[in-house]
A = this chain, B = another copy of it.
Amino acid sequence: MAETTTPAPPREDGRADDELRPVRITRNWLDHAAGSVLVEFGRTRVLCAASASEGVPRWRKGSGLGWVTAEYAMLPASTHTRSDRESVKGRIGGRTHEISRLVGRSLRAVVDYRAMGENTIQLDCDVLQADGGTRTAAITGAYVALADAAASLGVSNALTDSVAAVSVGIIDGVPRLDLPYVEDVRAETDMNVVMTGAGTFVEVQGTAEGAAFTRAELDALLGLAERGCADLTRLQREALDG
Q: Which A residues are within 8 Å of any B CB, using their own CB?
A: 30-33, 36, 43, 47, 49-51, 53, 71, 73, 75-82, 85-98, 100-101, 105, 109, 122, 124, 126, 128-129, 131, 161, 191, 195-196, 198, 200-208, 211-215, 218, 222, 226
A17 to B: closest C-beta gap in Å = 20
Q: Is the CB of B226 within 8 A of A215?
A: yes
Residues of B within 8 A of A51 (CB): 76-77, 81-82
Q: Is the CB of A75 within 8 A of B98?
A: no
Which of B98, B200, B203, B211 has a CB less than 8 Å from the CB of A214? B200
A177 to B: closest C-beta gap in Å = 17
Residue of B nearest to A226 (CB): B215
Which of B36, B94, B208 has a CB less than 8 Å from the CB of A98? B94
Q: Is the CB of A91 within 8 A of B94?
A: no
Which of B109, B126, B191, B213 has a CB less than 8 Å from the CB of A75? B126
- One complex includes copies of this chain to the number of 6
Query: How many angstroms from the CA of A28 to the CA of B78 in the assembled complex?
Result: 13
Query: How many angstroms from the CA of A126 to the CA of B75 in the assembled complex?
Result: 8
Which of B47, B75, B161, B214 has a CB less than 8 Å from the CB of A201? B214
Residue of B nearest to A94 (CB): B97
Query: How many angstroms from the CA of A204 to the CA of B75 in the assembled complex?
Result: 29
Residues A129 and B97 in contact in the complex (CB < 8 Å), given A75-B124, A204-B205, A215-B201: no
Q: Is the CB of B94 within 8 A of A100?
A: yes
Q: Give 20 A-B contacts (CB < 8 Å), ordered by A residue.
A: A31-B131, A32-B80, A32-B129, A47-B75, A47-B128, A50-B77, A51-B77, A73-B85, A75-B126, A85-B124, A94-B97, A94-B101, A105-B207, A109-B212, A201-B212, A201-B214, A201-B218, A202-B212, A203-B207, A203-B208
Q: Is the CB of A195 within 8 A of B212?
A: yes
Other contacts beyond A97-B97, A204-B218: 4, CB < 8 A? A36-B77, A49-B75, A77-B124, A85-B124
Which of B49, B92, B96 has a CB less than 8 Å from the CB of A77? B49
